[in-house]
Amino acid sequence: MTWLKAQFQKQFAGGPAIAAAFEQPVDGYSVTVLFGPSGCGKTTILRCLAGLERPDRGSIAFRDQVWFDSANGLNCSPQLRGVGYLFQEHALFPHLTVAQNIAFGLRGRPPNQLQRQVAEMIAAFELQSLENRLPRQISGGQQQRTALARVLIRQPRLLLLDEPLSALDSLLREQLRIELRRRLAEFKIPAVIVTHDRTEAIALADQVVVMDRGEVLQTGPVAEVFSKPINLRVAQLVGVDNVTRVKVLAIEDGLPRIQIGTQSLLAVGTAQPGTFASACIRAEDVVLQRAAGASSSVRNQLPGQVLSMTNEGPLVRVEVDCGFALQILVTKAAVNDLELTVGTRVFVLLKASAIHLV
């Protein structure tokens, strides 16, 4: 297994010190998401990986090649790194057509071979009949596909994506998020993606690097980081209490039925039966009761047992095992009324709309 190893610091005058520290396997498709609020230094890290910014100290190595090493003053130029960089607003060349943009980085090849490769990319990214349009004459989604085609035609060794979906409106964003993941898997290219959008992070990442104010706070598989933040700062940043990998079993009346732990539940979201997805459940959206309820509008009722209880100001965080571990936030008054302690048997009420599939 070969790796991208990044371990460096960079400070701009008047800004916080930005420190990157992560490793990523780069043999095939794997996605690391740098996640954090705007201004936390994620884009700077991406620019350092591309060679557009020079770190102050540290090193960057890709497979057996050193890209940057402050110890011996080595700094490989962006041209020699062979990465594909997808800019936030796509950065398409406004004076060139879609086809010319896609062919831009391919030079010194016989014209017929170049033409064939560009035609292949145009077909793969469904840009037929737009070849001769200028970037400003096509839609945001088409611009993104053109930018991706322009980068992928060079078969980069590593893809760097800076907020790839933020320039698009929300309706298109969800659709393109699914498409982006499919494309990355299809081209089998490892990627580092920067985003401040937690849905995007959960949907795209294998590994998440949570950052705040220039610092890496936590690194790990996406489900682990989002469901088990190591401290309060990470918990506040990630903002989702329960993230679990689930299998989509079937679609019932337009709602996906998912396999979560040992339970089968109804959720909300778009999904294909037989695929895997991430289910996000906010702790405050779950209802607890002592006995099985009479019929109600709630679709999912699960028996469970309290595993642990933690005070969080006026609220109590209750962890329940109901076939899978679930974090639930309730008030202190509710804890008293229900006489909850560790080991208490309870029923968990989970509305389908509280389970969000991404």
Partner 1 sequence: MNFPALWLSLQLATCTTAVLLLIGLPLAAWLARAKFRGKFLVEAIVALPLVLPPTVLGFYLLMATGPHSAFGRGYEALTGGRLPFSFVGILLGSVIYNLPFAVRPFIAALAAVDQRLIEASWCLGVSRGETFFRVTLPLSWPGILAGLVLTFAHSLGEFGIVLMMGGNIPGVTRTLSVSIYDDVQAQNYHSAGMAAGFLVVFSLVMLSLSSLCGRRVLAA
Q: Which residues bind partner 1 (CB under 8 A)?
A: 50, 52, 77-79, 82-85, 87, 89, 91, 93-95, 104-105, 107, 150-151, 154
Count CA within 13 A, CB hemisphere, residue 123: 6
Task: Using the minimum distance from each CB to partner 1, give the nearer residue, 67 or 85.
Answer: 85
Task: Using the minimum distance from each CB to partner 1, give the nearer residue, 153 or 237.
Answer: 153
> Which residues, 6 or more positions from 60, have their beta carbon under 8 angstroms from its beta carbon?
4, 5, 6, 7, 8, 48, 49, 66, 67, 68, 69
Q: Look up residue 17 and give its two tokens.
A: 């010190």
Q: How far is the CB of 99 from partner 1 (least distance, A)?
A: 15
Question: Residue written as tokens 């992928």?
Answer: 152
Task: Using the minimum distance from each CB to partner 1, give the nearer residue, 50 or 322.
Answer: 50
Q: How far is the CB of 252 from partner 1 (least distance, A)?
A: 46
Helix (H, G, I), strand (E, B) or coil at 49: helix
Q: How far is the CB of 179 from partner 1 (least distance, A)?
A: 21
Q: How far is the CB of 79 from partner 1 (least distance, A)?
A: 5
Task: Using the minimum distance from each CB to partner 1, give the nearer residue, 82 or 220.
Answer: 82
Q: Look up residue 23 and give its two tokens.
A: 């490793």
Judging by beta carbons within 10 Å of its beta carbon (0-12, 13-18, 19+), is residue 14 exposed, middle or buried?
A: exposed
Q: How far is the CB of 277 from partner 1 (least distance, A)?
A: 32
Task: Using the minimum distance from each CB to partner 1, give the nearer residue, 105 or 273.
Answer: 105
> Which residues, 6 or more positions from 50, have their beta carbon under 8 angstroms from its beta carbon?
78, 81, 83, 85, 160
